[in-house]
Structure 1
Amino acid sequence: MPALAQDSEEPAEEIVLSEGSGEIIESHGYSYYGDLTYPADYEHFDYVNPDAPKGGEISLSALGTFDSMNPYSRKGRAGALSTVMYESLLGEGTGNILAPADVYGEGYGLLAERLEYPESKDWVIFHMRPEARFSDGTPVTAHDIAFSHNLLLDQGLESYAKAVRKRIPKVEVIDDHTIKFWFTPGISRRSLIDQVGGVPAWSKKWYEESGARLDESRLEISPGSGPYMVESVDVNRRIVYKRNPDYWGKDLPFNKGRNNFDRIRIEYFGDENSAFEAFKAGEYTFRTEGNSRQWATAYEFPKVQQGQVIKTELPDGAPPTPSGIVFNLGREALQDKRVREAIALGFNFEWTNESLQFGLFKPRASFSQDTDLMATGMPEGPELAFLESLGDLVPPELLTEEARMPHTSDPSRLLDRRNRRAAKQLFEEAGWTAGSDGQLRDANGQTMRLTFLLNSAGSSTLRAVVENFIANLQAMGVDAVLDAVDASQYTLRERDRDYDMVYDAYAAFLGTGTGLAQRYGSEAASYSLFNPAGLASPLVDAIIEASLQAESSEEEQATLRALDRALRHEFFMIPTWYNDSHWVAYYDQYEHPEELPAFALGELDFWWYNEEKAEALRASGALR
């Protein structure tokens, strides 16, 4: 069946779409290899408490400011949880966590009751639940799904739209509750069915009647079909979401034991200190701690000692977020890897961890830390064979050297003398020498000036870490400057890559998918919000493409280990630290399943409220 490619920037090209081959698969969910943990007649996810009571409120904090409730635009700073109202054909958990959160790479029908596709995965048909409703009572139809898909292409983020247009050339509404997506011939079938299955469902009627655009900053929102809806918005102070009493999907097995709170309240604060003091006072009731100094020293206040506030560490089975000091590879001086390696030697993890972070962290090395996909030692077996198959794209040292690990430093002094000498040699090899004033200059006499962008509303401990790192760089001859700006300026400058270095993060991976190309690939490197370094590596591109073509989980794992090895070799980020636990503190009115799933803490999703405990807290004066 012919169709026109949906690409507004290039001449339309006729694409002959395939009718597909092989057996037609019908299922209640989807995974690439076809294996699903939960059967069609599952009653609820294994980790939830199916009898969890409904009611109460959970309240959290957010730092900085917001001026929009539209998180899908580059414009404005969106409020916390502003996607929580929207559902998709294959569902997610509240707060965009995995659902189910005890498995990876599996999606289960939410707005869709079932789907069908050929073995060749040339297309997919979703059969939607006719009972699904938006919060204004109007039905959710296939027309809304098609509208939402096209709205993202026409008005969404450029990196997303370009990637999706090439892979999904046609969407067809068969009837009010049946929709078909066609996929481009000759490309990998990875991340196609799950891609379209994850498109948020927006009301076509609302957008057409309101004239709103997806690419604008606005406080007005379209109705969603999810369990929560906006109750109130007080800009820069508070957002309250309330459970929709008429939520259409409350009795689905997908939702049993989930979405248990009547209200989710977000309180905004100008800085971390005021947020923490507000927690102590009971202005909000659940806190995920990220500041090691506070975790180690600040939770000895009376409410903790009296058991009114629970302080605990809960297991985190997901790979840690690959965060660290990211280099802007668009800057000329930073395009030389020797310069980046020399700068990295100014970061002393051991001193930082002992002196500023109370020894609570581990050094992060990998983009899939502590998983089977983490590259270790020298490549061998299937990984080695795969890398060798890429020929001259692979630097010889990648085959003969162990996977890059973070450098080590003397924990007793901030500036490790051995690392300083090594950095001096790397700078000189790259053409940067120190003059009589100690400043590094290139052959033209230009000093090396680097600006580190920092959000002034963020962690005071992170600021101290960055300040000490900058002090080391200055001692090494770099004219390094800390540029701490407010949250709104930070967001704008980060989007525009107006920095030399920034503390940012990429995404860990446990499987392949087209999202890898958006985050790490060359095609969108110059503008992708998900690639803050602007990494553009032919080697990385080739590995990602090969992983998308893998025909077995063993092949996929070999390519992804190679990807981890190559990303570490490219060295566009100084890896910093990670924590393999969730640090949480909360007023003793919440409960959770005894065994948490591997991939989510799930406080908004499957925890619940204990009214008797809450009443005891109010009676004691711990909460108002």
Structure 2
Amino acid sequence: MYLRVAVLALAVGAACVPPSLAQDAETPPLSPPPELAVQPAHGLAMHGEPKYPPSFTHFDYTNPDAPKGGRIRLAAQGTFDSFNPYIVRGTSSSGMGYIYETLMVSSADEPFTMYGLLAETMEVPEDRSWAIFNLNPEARWHDGQPVTVEDVIFSHEILTTEGHPIYRYYYSNIEAIEKLGKGRLRMLFSEGENLELPLIAGQMPILPKHWWETRDFARSSLDPPLGSGPYRVADFEAGRHVTLERVEDYWGADLPVNRGQYNFDRIRYDYYLDDTVIREALKAGRVDLRQENQAKAWALDYNVPAVRDGWLIMEALEHERPTGMQGFVFNTRREIFSDPRVREALAYAFDFEWSNRNLFFSLYARTDSYFSNSELASSGLPEGRELEILEQYRGEVPEEVFTEVFEPPSTDGSGWPRENLRAAFRLLAEAGWEVDPDTLLLTNQETGEPMRFEVLLVSPAMERIVLPFQRNLRRLGIEVSVRLVDSSQYINRYRAFDFDMIINVWGQSSSPGNEQREFWSSAAAEMPGSRNLAGVQDPVIDELIELLIAAPSREELVARTRALDRVLLWGHYVIPQYHSRVDRLLYWDKFAHPDVIPDSGFELDTWWYDEERARRLEAREQLVEGEG
């Protein structure tokens, strides 16, 4: 399922007793009760109106006549020991997004619009200070019991008390839930000028109270969960594989938001130790589809007969989604990275041009924004409304925000960036670091300590990217070690901010909002498990995040996002790396997908199993085996 910015779930503050809506019988009401003043709507857009009208039958990027059936085998890397994706403990299995559902669901061809799923309709006032959800009376759990208001209230309470800490933080502005009647509830919001809150409320994963109340939610468990979604767990072996089966009597199969999706009878995830083994499994026919994220592999690893003969298809699907930021992340909680001049200096040691030419076959573009590949990205010098916003903070942000165009350091691609290293030395000297003539190590002039740090990795594929960077850092006299750990250790260290430098990707949506608090706010910097990996603590950034969240229009959202982007860039919290504007796919010729590709790009849930193609492929495989 398509996930906006890795939104994990919703949280709501403690449920309260609703205030009485009754009026004195002899006193005519001055205005109707708030929930009666708003008409139920099938969808809600962040700004403007939904693209799809109430009468829509399916999304444009789906095939409503797609056949159901067949299976698809996918690969996952690492391991799993839990079916609960909402807690800190354990490593959750892939595919759990197919088990549970949310109140509303977003489309993949709009910046941010939600349509009814478990909630048939919603009611939202103009100021969006509350939202009423009317549950679909047909919504059922897999055991046949109906989805109820009590399930929604329970989900809020359990996620915000025993779930991952991020839920308490991310949804702290949702103040209370009131039950208004059978299948009808209202969520109250504590924060004004936050147009996103009703949409966030719609993203709450709803859990079955009657199933969970007899279990320990906070404990990692491999009990196949009860859900309401299109799939359920059919078979698994811990750490090795899990198979999901399509629910034949799935209650929501004919909803407009689902029609043409969830077409495979079975989805199986096989777990492998690393990407190299996954690629070999794909070529051997043990994996059906892979989204290739390594340029070298795309260019070199698939020169095999199955690809040349058209049985294993290589397809690059263009997309228009923001590619976000991938980069080397400085943990500014570490003293050596507390000075932005040091962080800026070390960026000169990353030779993108050499890496792109020699490692990536020139398939990537350099990232120069936290919102790259979108209209949200800052560029040039600030002007117009963006400049007006930034002027409020002149003197509190680097002067370069106003006077210089942000551009990551570039080189001639020769592999010996002399001028860049000279620039790095100048910045390091300003920050109090000089090369000791005896040891030839970069040394702090106050403490006498040499600069040493570790780059933490979980993927072996990233080593070849780090090693040239490490070589240039050593030319500066910096001792850098590269540590490759298993996925479990990596997750634990990631959550505890136990690293010096890490490589991370912050995905972005076309309509950024409350998730920016988790990425960059001062509060999130102190919250283990948050995605403020850099430890950003800047009151200006905190204010810009709140301005972004309160944006009253699309135009204002763009201006405020660009202002935030520019201040983040000049904070030098990461060394920007690169991005691709296509989704690179490899799949065996037994599947089909719609001709229309949404702005978000590849959508597996819209694909289907093509029986005729599958028969041809099977005949070809039998012929190859016979010749062998």
| TM-score for the superposition, normalised by structure 2 | 0.92
Match of 2:355, SS state, is helix
Match of 1:481 in 2: 481
1:571-605 Cα distance to aligned partner (Å, 9 max, x none) = 111110111001111000111111211113112x1
1:159-218 Cα distance to aligned partner (Å, 9 max, x none) = 3303423x112101222311111111x522232111111111100001112x221x3322
Distance in 2 between residues matched to 1:566 and 1:23, nearest whole Å: 42
Q: Which of 220, 225, 230 matches 1:227?
A: 230
Match of 1:354 in 2: 357
Match of 1:136 in 2: 143
Is 2:66 the counterpart of 1:66?
no
Q: Which of 80, 91, 95 matches 1:81?
A: 95
In structure 1, give the amino acid aligned to 2:348.
Answer: L
Distance in 1 between residues matched to 2:200 and 2:185, nearest whole Å: 14
Match of 1:164 in 2: 171
Give the deviation of 1:401 after TM superposition: 2.1
Q: Which of 107, 114, 117 matches 1:100?
A: 107
Match of 1:192 in 2: 197
Give the deviation of 1:558 after TM superposition: 1.1
Residues 243 and 269 in structure 2, CA contact (< 8 A), matched pair in contact too: yes
1:6-46 Cα distance to aligned partner (Å, 9 max, x none) = 479xxx9x999997599524210112335110011101111
1:430-478 Cα distance to aligned partner (Å, 9 max, x none) = 11111122101112111111010011xx252x21111221122122111
The 1:317–1:163 alpha-carbon spacing in structure 2 relative to 1, beyond 3 Å, is closer
Match of 2:608 in 1: 608
Distance in 2 between residues matched to 1:282 and 1:159, nearest whole Å: 39
Match of 1:44 in 2: 58
Q: CA RMSD in A?
A: 2.2
Is 2:216 the counterpart of 1:212?
yes
Matches within 5 A, 1:335-346: 335-346=338-349
Distance in 1 between residues matched to 2:494 and 2:351, nearest whole Å: 25
Residues 386-395 or 242-251, more deviating: 386-395
Residues 68-77 or 334-343, more deviating: 68-77
Residues 400 and 570 in structure 2, CA contact (< 8 A), matched pair in contact too: no
Match of 2:409 in 1: 407
Distance in 2 between residues matched to 1:36 and 1:353, nearest whole Å: 40
Is 2:334 the counterpart of 1:326?
no
Gaps of 5+ in 1: 92-98
In structure 2, give the amino acid aligned to 1:601.
Answer: F
Match of 1:94 in 2: none
Match of 2:492 in 1: 492
Match of 2:213, SS state, is helix
In the TM superposition, structure 1's runs of 4+ consecutive aligned residues that sit over 6 Å from their partners are 14-19
Match of 2:24 in 1: none
Residues 324 and 369 in structure 2, CA contact (< 8 A), matched pair in contact too: no
Distance in 1 between residues matched to 2:473 and 2:14, nearest whole Å: 46
In structure 2, give the amino acid aligned to 1:83.
Answer: G
In structure 1, give the amino acid aligned to 2:216.
Answer: A
Match of 1:305 in 2: 308
Q: Which of 283, 288, 312 matches 1:285?
A: 288
Matches within 5 A, 1:144-163: 144-163=151-170
Match of 2:9 in 1: none
Is 2:137 the counterpart of 1:116?
no
Residues 50 and 113 in structure 2, CA contact (< 8 A), matched pair in contact too: yes
Residues 82 and 90 in structure 2, CA contact (< 8 A), matched pair in contact too: yes
Distance in 2 between residues matched to 1:74 and 1:381, nearest whole Å: 44
In structure 2, give the amino acid aligned to 1:438.
Answer: L
Give the deviation of 1:290 after TM superposition: 0.7
Distance in 2 between residues matched to 1:509 and 1:88, nearest whole Å: 18
Distance in 1 between residues matched to 2:488 and 2:567, nearest whole Å: 34
Residues 160 and 518 in structure 1, CA contact (< 8 A), matched pair in contact too: no
Match of 1:83, SS state, is helix
Residues 66 and 78 in structure 1, CA contact (< 8 A), matched pair in contact too: yes
Residues 22 and 118 in structure 1, CA contact (< 8 A), matched pair in contact too: no
1:352-371 Cα distance to aligned partner (Å, 9 max, x none) = 11111111111111111132
Residues 506 and 531 in structure 1, CA contact (< 8 A), matched pair in contact too: no
Give the deviation of 1:105 after TM superposition: 0.9
In structure 2, give the amino acid aligned to 1:149.
Answer: H
Distance in 1 between residues matched to 2:472 and 2:70, nearest whole Å: 50
Gaps of 5+ in 2: 1-11, 22-30
The 1:212–1:21 alpha-carbon spacing in structure 2 relative to 1, beyond 3 Å, is closer
Distance in 1 between residues matched to 2:563 and 2:138, nearest whole Å: 46
Residues 61 and 594 in structure 2, CA contact (< 8 A), matched pair in contact too: yes
Match of 1:468 in 2: 468
User: Paired residues, what number?
Assistant: 599
Match of 1:565 in 2: 566
The 1:380–1:116 alpha-carbon spacing in structure 2 relative to 1, beyond 3 Å, is same
Match of 2:582 in 1: 581
**How many percent identity over aligned positions?**
37
Distance in 2 between residues matched to 1:156 and 1:193, nearest whole Å: 21
In structure 2, give the amino acid aligned to 1:197.
Answer: G
The 1:15–1:274 alpha-carbon spacing in structure 2 relative to 1, beyond 3 Å, is same
Match of 1:621, SS state, is helix
1:115-155 Cα distance to aligned partner (Å, 9 max, x none) = 11222222111111111111121111111011101111111
Match of 2:187 in 1: 181
In structure 1, give the amino acid aligned to 2:360.
Answer: Q
Residues 190 and 513 in structure 1, CA contact (< 8 A), matched pair in contact too: no
1:377-411 Cα distance to aligned partner (Å, 9 max, x none) = 11111111121134543433312222x11110131
Residues 190 and 514 in structure 1, CA contact (< 8 A), matched pair in contact too: no
Match of 2:480, SS state, is strand
Distance in 2 between residues matched to 1:84 and 1:21, nearest whole Å: 32
1:523-547 Cα distance to aligned partner (Å, 9 max, x none) = 1112242221121221111111122
Match of 1:79, SS state, is coil
Match of 1:114, SS state, is strand
1:72-122 Cα distance to aligned partner (Å, 9 max, x none) = 11211211122321111102xxxxxxx421112100001111111222222
The 1:384–1:21 alpha-carbon spacing in structure 2 relative to 1, beyond 3 Å, is farther
The 1:125–1:15 alpha-carbon spacing in structure 2 relative to 1, beyond 3 Å, is closer
Residues 14 and 177 in structure 2, CA contact (< 8 A), matched pair in contact too: no
In structure 2, give the amino acid aligned to 1:255.
Answer: N
Distance in 1 between residues matched to 2:64 and 2:36, nearest whole Å: 39
| TM-score for the superposition, normalised by structure 1 | 0.92
Match of 1:503, SS state, is strand
Residues 575-584 or 59-68, more deviating: 59-68
Distance in 2 between residues matched to 1:552 and 1:274, nearest whole Å: 48
Is 2:257 the counterpart of 1:257?
no
Match of 2:96, SS state, is coil
Distance in 2 between residues matched to 1:269 and 1:419, nearest whole Å: 40
Give the deviation of 1:509 after TM superposition: 4.0
Give the deviation of 1:549 after TM superposition: 2.6
The 1:567–1:118 alpha-carbon spacing in structure 2 relative to 1, beyond 3 Å, is same
Distance in 1 between residues matched to 2:300 and 2:94, nearest whole Å: 28
